[in-house]
Amino acid sequence: MSACVDCGSWAINHHLYGRDGSRPDLCDTCYWRLKAEKFRRDAERYRWLRDLPLGSKHEQIGNMPGDMWDAAIDAAMGEREGAT
């Protein structure tokens, strides 16, 4: 048995709380926080796409296949942040 690599907790229960067996080095809390943060990033991307102004040069991202979105949107978001 080992402690969580992130916070040091011993509460690592792979067979409980709906864990899928991935990230055996994380405790239950850090495991679910990691999952949640991934989805929060997705939500940020969807919000960014939704809020694009009409005529934006990034409009074509909405027509890309889903597996191309993440990298394309991240690059475009970084570009916008850099411009401000």
Task: List contacts with Zn ion (CB under 5 A).
Answer: 4, 6-7, 9, 27, 30
Nearer to Zn ion, 14 or 80 (CB): 14
Question: Least distance (Å) from Zn ion to the CB of residue 9?
Answer: 5
Q: In angstroms, rounded to a whole number, what is the distance separating the alpha carbons of residues 10 and 29?
A: 11
Nearer to Zn ion, 27 or 73 (CB): 27
9 close to 27: Cβ distance less than 8 angstroms: yes
Nearer to Zn ion, 6 or 74 (CB): 6
Tokens representing 41 are: 């990033």
**Who's near 52: CB < 8 A, 6+ residues apart?**
58, 59, 62
Question: Least distance (Å) from Zn ion to the CB of residue 17?
Answer: 13
Question: Least distance (Å) from Zn ion to the CB of residue 44?
Answer: 24
Return the amino acid letter for 79: E
